[in-house]
């Protein structure tokens, strides 16, 4: 199979690279994330606006939505080229990759007119409010409830692990509106103003030192029925659109790969260690397998097809190998391995920072166990797990 660009794709790649070179610096080898910088959010907003004005934000979106009206392969090419530069994209990944497409799919014309352009231009940031303390992998088991009161819904409950909630303007919120039906049938999706009365966002201090995730509490929060996405009780159908986008979005893993640890091993003089060389070979083979799997996905996209559940494979491989690679590098650093200060440790603590981040990547967008079930059932055709709650109402199970 020929994986080279067509003439049109090569022309677009050159255009994209020229635009990126004009506005950004190339990414430093081994660099992980710049989200800790105080000016990061403003830089991200400025870059998002620059992309939108240049016609490179959400390339596949129709022109009437502010997109380019381009092809999926052009979007893939843009992503490949942007990854080569120090692009502050994080704050908009969830909103433009998951939330706003859900608004476009299920929202009213008023919703689209009000929210889409502002998000595209970097003026407003969105978050996704799904997971709860007792409903992470089993999202449909959530307990945050909404009760109808005239033309409004009154929301009470708690969400957790909400990325970017502390700087988000809006979010999509999945709640329970009917406990007297099976759990997947009693959910409804809403748009919520994250700055309104009754919404309490509490950042979670992470082991890595960051505060990217949040707990969010809802106390008698009122949302107009006009801000509902989809019909009452049909929230699971709406959520599936978001979840499919999420699992595709988190399939890669930021941080060092086999190349970085091989370079470090050479500088540390440990390349002769046979056990390390065997691990390095495993990481290389897995990386090549993932690369070819991505090519299969790109082929499906280029044919206008929708990528299937096999995309879960990439997330499982990348998240686990990131953790394994960083653990090996930390051990290789000996007494320096316990230090996370970027000014004191070899490789600017890239392995330490990534090691702290890797366990979260194995949870975000579906845990390893959930994704293995998806692969087993939907790719390999194995029997489904036994579900004791399948024909029971949510109230009976709680």
Q: Looking at the annotation, which residues are catalytic? A: 246
Helix 274-302, helix 258-268: angle, nearest 10: 160
C-alpha 274/C-alpha 285 separation (Å) is 17
- Token pair of 102, please? 């859900």
CB 210 within 8 A of CB 36: yes
Q: How many CA atoms lie within 13 A of 36 on its CB side?
A: 9
C-alpha 380/C-alpha 392 separation (Å) is 28
Compute CA distances 209 → 36, 322, 354, 388, whole Å.
9, 19, 12, 40
Q: Is 103 helix (H, G, I), strand (E, B) or coil?
A: helix
Task: Let me know the angle formed at the C-alpha of 315 by 312 and 321, rounded to the nearest 5 degrees.
Answer: 140
| Distance separating the N- and C-terminal Cα atoms of the chain | 53
Compute CA distances 137 → 51, 167, 308, 363, whole Å.
34, 25, 20, 8
- Token pair of 59, please? 């390339």
Q: Residue 164: which of 106, 90, 218, 108 has the closest Cα?
A: 90
């Amino acid at each position: 199979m020929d994986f080279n660009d067509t003439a049109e794709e090569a022309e677009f790649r050159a255009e994209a690279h020229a635009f990126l070179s004009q506005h950004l610096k190339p990414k430093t080898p081994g660099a992980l994330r710049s989200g800790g910088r105080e000016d990061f959010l403003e830089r991200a907003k400025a870059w998002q606006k620059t992309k939108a004005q240049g016609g490179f934000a959400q390339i596949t979106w129709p022109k009437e939505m502010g997109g380019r009206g381009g092809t999926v392969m052009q979007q893939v090419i843009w992503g490949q080229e942007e990854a080569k530069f120090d692009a502050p994209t994080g704050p908009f990944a969830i909103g433009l990759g998951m939330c706003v497409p859900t608004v476009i799919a299920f929202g009213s014309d008023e919703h689209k007119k009000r929210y889409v352009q502002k998000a595209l231009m970097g003026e407003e940031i969105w978050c996704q409010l799904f997971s709860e303390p007792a409903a992470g992998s089993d999202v449909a088991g959530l307990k945050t409830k909404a009760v109808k009161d005239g033309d409004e819904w009154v929301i009470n409950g708690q969400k957790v692990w909400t990325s970017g909630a502390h700087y988000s303007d809006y979010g999509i919120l999945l709640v329970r509106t009917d406990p007297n039906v099976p759990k997947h049938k009693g959910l409804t999706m809403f748009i919520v103003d994250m700055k309104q009365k009754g919404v309490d966002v509490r950042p979670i201090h992470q082991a890595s030192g960051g505060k990217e995730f949040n707990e969010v509490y809802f106390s008698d929060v009122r949302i107009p029925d006009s801000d509902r996405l989809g019909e009452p009780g049909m929230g699971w159908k709406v959520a599936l659109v978001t979840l499919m986008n999420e699992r595709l979005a988190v399939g890669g893993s930021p941080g060092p790969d086999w190349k970085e640890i091989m370079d470090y091993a050479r500088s540390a003089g440990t390349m002769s260690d046979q056990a390390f060389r065997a691990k390095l070979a495993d990481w290389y083979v897995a990386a090549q397998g993932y690369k070819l799997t991505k090519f299969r996905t790109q082929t499906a996209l280029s044919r206008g097809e929708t990528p299937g559940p096999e995309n879960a494979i990439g997330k499982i491989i990348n998240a686990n190998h990131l953790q394994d690679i960083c653990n090996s590098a930390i051990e290789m650093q000996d007494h320096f391995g316990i230090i996370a200060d970027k000014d004191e440790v070899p490789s600017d603590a890239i392995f330490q920072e990534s090691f702290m981040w890797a366990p979260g990547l194995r949870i975000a967008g579906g845990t390893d166990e959930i994704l293995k079930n998806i692969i087993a059932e939907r790719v390999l055709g194995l029997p489904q797990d036994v579900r004791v709650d399948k024909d029971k109402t949510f109230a009976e199970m709680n």
